[in-house]
Amino acid sequence: MPGKALPKLDFLRKGTRLTARLASDPARVRSGDRIADETDLRDWLGGFTKVAVSEESVGLGGYRKVLIILVSSTGKMTNLTKMATKTS
């Protein structure tokens, strides 16, 4: 994808409302709840290129953490991730 790049990030952004909704409810995190929806990769990584991804957030029980899984069916995310890795 010539001419397309992600900004250099030291940390990922805090994420989306989907993840925040699960993370803000400790009982749901402890019980291992899952929520999923479509989102834009820019919500996580910034940049100017719109990339639709599937976001799934999973409560990790006693660890009191949330696992976030981002999946792109178009392959654009893989290309953008490779470019971001090369610039880091």
Reported as a single tens digit per residue, the pLDDT across 53-85 is 899 999 999 999 999 888 887 655 555 444 443
Distance (Å, whole) CA 1 – CA 65: 34
**What's phi and psi for 57, nearest 5 deg?**
-115, 135
**What's phi and psi for 14, nearest 5 deg?**
-65, -15
The full set of domain ranges for the chain reads 17-87
Residue 5: is its pLDDT beyond 90? no
Token couple for 37 = 């929806």
Residue 35: is its pLDDT beyond 90? yes
Residue 48: is its pLDDT beyond 50? yes
pTM recorded for the entire structure:
0.68
Q: Which of 20, 1, 19, 21 is nearest to 74 (CA)?
A: 1
pLDDT of residue 25: 95
pLDDT band at 47 (very low <50, low <70, confident <90, very high): confident
